[in-house]
């Protein structure tokens, strides 16, 4: 069931996935919610990406290990069905394309110039790669933008009992965080 940010959560969620296009703010939101609810945030990119951007051989077993825990929050990627089947709440960052593109571009430039280590020794590739690499994160965000909506709709059809909170702006996220999540955390 897809609801807006004003919907009241009927229970305190324990297993949460954050959906959205690359660069929409999934990890930031997952960290914030995890802190408020005192739920471990498992950054799924850190489980997936090994050195030199190769998939880690332990990814599947790492996912299996945290899925059986009673509480966690993570980003909805790579093994979406497995994550969604265990989740009791989905937070969907359905931000306008222009907002996502601004965020992913600023984030990518900051990470590259700061030589910020992401996961397992990886850093953002040189910025000129956007012109040559079809899967450069900025091009990826643009190309896959519409896929999240399709995936969330399929998930809602498959699991109609699952609450999916849809956010159309960062202001909605902030209001929900203050007005709804803090209340749930206290009770």
**Domain containing 17 — which CATH number?**
3.40.50.300
In the predicted model, is pLDDT for residue 172 greater than 60?
yes
Q: In this predicted model, what pLDDT tens digit does every residue of 106-143 receive, in sequence order?
A: 998 888 887 888 888 888 888 888 888 888 888 999 99
pLDDT at 119: 83
Domain total of the chain: 1
pLDDT at 182: 57
State the maximum Cα–Cα separation within the chain, in Å, rounded to a whole number: 51
CB 84 within 8 A of CB 78: no
Dist CA 29 CA 39 (whole Å): 13
Q: What is the pTM of this model?
A: 0.91
Instruction: Specify the pLDDT at position 62.
Output: 96
CA–CA separation, 174 and 97 (whole Å): 19
| Residue 146, burial from CB neighbour count under 10 angstroms (0-12, 13-18, 19+) | exposed
Give the residue numbers spanning the domain of 122. Answer: 2-186
Is the predicted pLDDT of residue 65 greater than 70, yes or no?
yes
Q: Give me the percent of the chain exceeding a pLDDT of 70.
A: 96
Mean pLDDT (whole number) for 71-91: 96
Q: Output the pLDDT for position 178.
A: 82
How high is the mean pLDDT of the chain? 91
Q: Mean per-residue pLDDT for 42-53? A: 93
Collapse the DSSP code of 10 into the 3-class scheme (helix H, G, I; strand E, B; otherwise coil) and give the result.
coil
| Contacts within 8 Å (CB) and 24+ apart, 98-101 | 99/24, 99/169, 99/170, 100/20, 100/21, 100/22, 100/23, 100/24, 100/141, 100/145, 101/23, 101/138, 101/141, 101/142
Contact indicator for 185, 25 with CB cutoff of 8 Å: no
Q: What local confidence, expressed as pLDDT, does residue 100 receive?
A: 95
């Amino acid at each position: 069931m897809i609801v807006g940010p004003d919907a009241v959560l009927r229970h305190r969620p324990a297993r949460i996935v954050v959906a959205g296009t690359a660069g929409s703010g999934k990890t930031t939101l997952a960290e914030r919610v995890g802190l408020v609810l005192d739920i471990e945030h498992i950054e799924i990119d850190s489980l997936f990406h090994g050195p030199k951007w190769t998939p880690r051989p332990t990814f599947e077993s790492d996912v299996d290990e945290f899925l059986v825990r009673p509480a966690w929050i993570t980003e909805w990627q790579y093994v979406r069905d497995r994550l969604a089947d265990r989740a009791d709440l989905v937070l969907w960052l359905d931000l306008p394309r222009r907002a996502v593109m601004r965020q992913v571009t600023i984030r990518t430039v900051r990470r590259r110039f700061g030589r910020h280590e992401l996961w397992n020794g990886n850093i953002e590739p040189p910025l000129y790669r956007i012109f040559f690499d079809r899967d450069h994160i900025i091009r990826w965000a643009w190309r896959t933008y519409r896929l999240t909506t399709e995936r969330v709709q399929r998930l809602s059809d498959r699991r109609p009992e699952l609450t999916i909170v849809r956010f159309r702006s960062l202001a909605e996220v902030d209001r929900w965080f203050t007005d709804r999540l803090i209340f749930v955390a206290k009770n």
